[in-house]
């Protein structure tokens, strides 16, 4: 757990978080990396392509996915987690279960990526605080409501998550917010959130954007999941220009190139 306590997310440039799903049923790459050897090889490949963080998850959160029991989730993670950590790139654990977060941080994870923003498992905030880990608090809803003021709902959700984090003793500099593209939102609401992404900076925390290969892209391009790279890059570059600190992506190499180009264009604005 000392590893998580010592880690600090660098803020000098945007970061690319590479997705490593050790699941049989994730919407984009389910089953591809469920075998430990394949998972480790993919982790190495993403590091070579420029991943700053590896986000490993063992339970699919795609629409209509079936919840996975805690021990099944851990059984998928246990054979690969320590080996992935040993590669040296900071590891994030994608889970909303406190006990999984505890075990993963004990194995070397430094970020907990909670798709329910500390609001699903009452023990999660304390688990993150005890580990000294960073936490990504994502906005989520059990279902989409096209009549909802989604931006107001995100603000209220974030305020609750930040209060839970503060009450548990999670340092503010270790808190990250994610508006949750594709989670409990209509297609139009997803694009409204993207268009107003910069307004989320008012909460004063780093922002993560994770729209990789999602349905909002397919809805515009009419593209199947495997053909949504360019749409993913467009959404993520828009978010970066509007203040995102992290983009979470399946295709690390192209995203790393985009971040490098964004850094290059920022040199004129920041000559010193």
Question: Which residues are part of the catalytic machinery?
Answer: 214, 248
The answer to whether 210 touches 244, Cβ cutoff 8 Å, is: no
Neighbouring residues of 265: CB distance < 8 A, sequence distance ≥ 6: none
Q: How far apart are CA 173 and CA 211, in angstroms?
A: 24
Q: Which of 217, 208, 196 is nearest to 16 (CA)?
A: 208
Q: How far apart are CA 112 and CA 24, in angstroms?
A: 21
Q: How far apart are CA 194 and CA 105, in angstroms?
A: 31
Q: Between the CA atoms of 4, 34, 46 and 182, what dihedral angle is there, to the nearest 10 degrees?
A: -80
Which two tokens mark 183? Answer: 């989670």
């Amino acid at each position: 757990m000392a590893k998580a306590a010592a880690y600090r997310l660098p803020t000098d440039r945007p970061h690319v978080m590479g997705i490593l799903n050790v699941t049989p049923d994730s919407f984009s790459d389910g089953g591809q990396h469920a075998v430990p050897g394949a998972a480790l090889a993919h982790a190495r490949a993403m590091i070579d392509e420029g991943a700053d963080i590896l986000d490993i998850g063992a339970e699919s959160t795609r629409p209509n996915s079936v919840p996975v029991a805690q021990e099944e989730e851990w059984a998928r993670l246990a054979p690969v987690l320590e080996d992935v950590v040993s590669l040296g790139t900071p590891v994030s654990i994608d889970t909303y279960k406190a006990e999984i977060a505890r075990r993963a941080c004990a194995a070397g994870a430094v970020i907990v990526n909670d798709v329910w923003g500390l609001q699903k498992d009452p023990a999660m905030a304390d688990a993150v605080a005890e580990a000294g880990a960073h936490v990504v608090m994502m906005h989520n809803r059990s279902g989409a409501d096209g009549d909802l003021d989604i931006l107001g709902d995100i603000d209220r959700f974030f305020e609750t998550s930040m209060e839970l984090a503060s009450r548990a003793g999670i340092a503010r500099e270790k808190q990250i917010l994610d508006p949750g593209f594709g989670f409990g939102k209509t297609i139009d609401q997803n694009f409204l959130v993207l268009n107003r992404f910069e307004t989320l900076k008012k909460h004063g925390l780093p922002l993560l954007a994770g729209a990789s290969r999602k349905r909002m892209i397919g809805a515009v391009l009419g593209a199947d999941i495997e053909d949504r790279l360019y749409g993913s890059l467009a959404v993520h570059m828009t978010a970066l220009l509007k203040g995102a600190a992290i983009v979470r992506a399946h295709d690390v190499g192209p995203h790393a190139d985009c971040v490098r180009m964004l850094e290059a264009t920022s040199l004129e604005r920041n000559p010193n």
